Amino acid sequence: MKITLIFGTVFREFYCTSALCEIQKPKKVLTEVSLCNYTHMVKQLLTKIILFVAVFILPLSVWAATATELAATINAFTGDGSGSLIAIANGKTVTVTGTLTDVTTGLSLDIDEDVTVVWQATISTGSGFPMWDSLIEAGGLGSLNVVTGGSIAAMNGDKAILSLGVTIIVNGGTIKTTGGTAIYNRSENSTVTVNAGTVSATTGTAIFTQGEFGNSTVTVNAGTVSATSGVAIRITYAKGTVNISGGTVSATTGRTILIDGMDYSTITVSGGIVSSDGDNNTITIGTDSSIGLNVTIGGTGKVQATGQHGRAINANGNCNIEVKDEAQVSATTGIAIFVGGAASLAVSISGGEVSATTGYAIFCSNLSTVTVSGGLVFAYGDAITGTDNVIFTAYLAGFTVASGTGVVIAWNQASGNTTYTQGYSDDIVCLPATATAVWDRDGTSYGISYANGTNTGFIPLNVTVEAPVDIENINNTPFYAYAIDHQLGIVSPHTEQITIYSIMGVPLYSVAKNAGLIEIPFASTPGSVFIIRGNVSGMIKFIK
């Protein structure tokens, strides 16, 4: 049956095949006089269509007007599995315990505003559960609180929890999936907060917000959010905020935090550890066309990429990146902070530490700028900027020099030296001129000590740092040295051991000599000022 709707002078036609439709096709074009009656009939039709959809099309749900009714429906749910759920209502709180396994149909909950479902039960899918379905579908404006003892496990590539508006709080327990999604958000202004417990995925995603539903927030204050080859936290095609203040967010070979597809998203790490062990990125945000993105690593937060060629932060589009306080951003063979895409970004280091080993500390492939006004930026290299060094910027003026108390250090590890003398700066390049960086010891650790004003620190490295030799002064018989034909001549009347030191006491060369003259090639004694000591004759100073 075709129905023609008239809005002013515009006609709209559609077809209705439902038996509920009672409006017949007009035998003639309606006039404005009949418009009111016709509009009334249309309203009746729409009401019947809505009722039809609610009864015959929507999935079976728990329509909970009160906590008591919600508890009664949960108690009646079996999911064609083994065991049972026990729900007890107390005021506006419903506490769920019990064990229900091998379910083949999902549980749908419409949790009313101000109603909280406290989940202490164990529920899991069986082999007959439809792939991509949801074990628990939670709608409404209430809260679903998973606590210690609670377990929600979707094992067949399906969703453990589908949120359609509720607030998800994880205060303990376990929410997990294999190839699906542990917590899947499809609602505007949705929030997921992890205060304890574990949310995990294997090849799937632990926490996922997808679709055109903006203002989604994921907060991790403690506990664990993890993925193996999947993604720990992902927000796609939605404006999102990720806040990490504690706990652990990690991926083994997958990605840890991924925000792609929407503008004005924010990632803040103020505590805890965000890490990845594979060759993927730890934090990925933005596309080439994204705008208004922000990544802030502060407090005691740590972002780590320990895998082969992994990147700790990978940003595209228009994005501001800030590292401050005592935060750490690090990579091993990869890049600590990578900036790509066509847009320009700003990277600001005002505190903390950004470091890499054989990779770059900061790499900008566009017109982005790098500012170091505090903290430390460190990597291997024979210079501060340029290819295979600490900071690379495609824009030549992208970085010039550190300011304030900032320190940028390059260690020329490629020189092959593994033993250094305490207090020296061999193979070290340091900026700015007000900063110092020398080889040092910190307890049983060896590495580089640095200082620039109030900014001081120590970089542990796999080297050996020896203390300077204390040269004993022996006054004895005539003992002298001279230079001739690119050689150092040393004369004493004794047979003795000759040791040549740098002016700072670093041993350079040692040889046994007979009484009289010994000549030593200058190539064996780098430098221009030496301390020459004979174990019998004493000590003299020689200037080349």
Q: Residue range 469-480: average pLDDT?
A: 62
Tracing tokens 């505190």 back to the chain, one arrives at: 351
Most confident of 249-258, 289-298, 336-345: 249-258
In the prediction, which pLDDT does 336 show?
98
211 pLDDT band, cuts 50/70/90, is low
In the prediction, which pLDDT does 429 show?
97
Name the residue among 498, 496, 519, 517 with its Cα closest to residue 509: 498
Q: Give me 189's structure tokens.
A: 């202004």
In the prediction, which pLDDT does 12 show?
33
Name the residue among 141, 128, 64 with its Cα closest to residue 96: 64
Of all residues in the chain, what percent are helix, strand and coil, respectively (each to 5)? Answer: 10, 50, 40
In the prediction, which pLDDT does 47 show?
45
Q: Is it the case that residue 446 has pLDDT exceeding 50?
A: yes
In the prediction, which pLDDT does 276 show?
96
Distance in angstroms (rounded) separating the CA atoms of residues 327 and 297: 6
In the prediction, which pLDDT does 155 show?
87
Distance in angstroms (rounded) separating the CA atoms of residues 333 and 379: 10
In the prediction, which pLDDT does 29 show?
36
Distance in angstroms (rounded) separating the CA atoms of residues 360 and 376: 14
Residue-wise pLDDT for 39-75, tens only, equals 445 444 544 454 444 444 444 334 445 899 899 989 9
Q: What percent of the chain has pLDDT over 90?
A: 60
More confident residue, 279 or 1: 279
Residue-wise pLDDT for 327-344, tens only, equals 999 999 899 999 987 666
Q: The sheet that has 455-460: what strands, in order across it? A: 436-442, 445-452, 455-460
Distance in angstroms (rounded) separating the CA atoms of residues 16 and 19: 9
In the prediction, which pLDDT does 32 show?
36
Q: Is it the case that residue 28 has pLDDT exceeding 80?
A: no
Q: Is it the case that residue 196 has pLDDT exceeding 50?
A: yes
In the prediction, which pLDDT does 310 show?
93
474 pLDDT band, cuts 50/70/90, is low
Most confident of 87-96, 156-165, 529-538: 87-96
Q: Is it the case that residue 306 has pLDDT exceeding 80?
A: yes
- DSSP labels, 116-185: EEEE--EEEE-TTSPTT-EEEEEEESSEEEE-TT-EEEE-SS-EEEEEEBPEEEEEEEEEEESSSEEEEE
470 pLDDT band, cuts 50/70/90, is low
Distance in angstroms (rounded) separating the CA atoms of residues 390 and 401: 12
291 pLDDT band, cuts 50/70/90, is confident
Least confident of 210-214, 278-282, 400-404: 210-214
Residue-wise pLDDT for 357-398, tens only, equals 989 999 998 888 999 999 999 999 999 999 999 999 987 778
Least confident of 217-226, 288-297, 470-479: 470-479
Q: Residue range 228-244: average pLDDT?
A: 92
More confident residue, 304 or 6: 304
Q: What end-to-end distance do the CA atoms of the chain give, in Å? A: 108
In the prediction, which pLDDT does 471 show?
52
Q: Is it the case that residue 225 has pLDDT exceeding 70?
A: yes
Q: Is it the case that residue 491 has pLDDT exceeding 80?
A: yes
Tracing tokens 């899947």 back to the chain, one arrives at: 184
Q: Is it the case that residue 255 has pLDDT exceeding 60?
A: yes
Q: Residue range 474-503: average pLDDT?
A: 81
In the prediction, which pLDDT does 290 show?
84
Distance in angstroms (rounded) separating the CA atoms of residues 251 and 260: 17
In the prediction, which pLDDT does 248 show?
98
Distance in angstroms (rounded) separating the CA atoms of residues 240 and 197: 23
Q: Is it the case that residue 521 has pLDDT exceeding 90?
A: no
Q: Is it the case that residue 240 has pLDDT exceeding 70?
A: yes
In the prediction, which pLDDT does 11 show?
31
Distance in angstroms (rounded) separating the CA atoms of residues 389 and 3: 72
Distance in angstroms (rounded) separating the CA atoms of residues 448 and 461: 8
Distance in angstroms (rounded) separating the CA atoms of residues 485 and 192: 79
In the prediction, which pLDDT does 442 show?
93
Q: Exposure of 80 by Cβ count < 10 A (0-12 exposed, 13-18 middle, 19+ buried)?
A: exposed
Distance in angstroms (rounded) separating the CA atoms of residues 18 and 47: 13
**pTM assigned to the model:** 0.78
Q: Is it the case that residue 411 has pLDDT exceeding 90?
A: yes
In the prediction, which pLDDT does 112 show?
93
In the prediction, which pLDDT does 216 show?
87
Q: Residue range 264-269: average pLDDT?
A: 94
In the prediction, which pLDDT does 467 show?
79
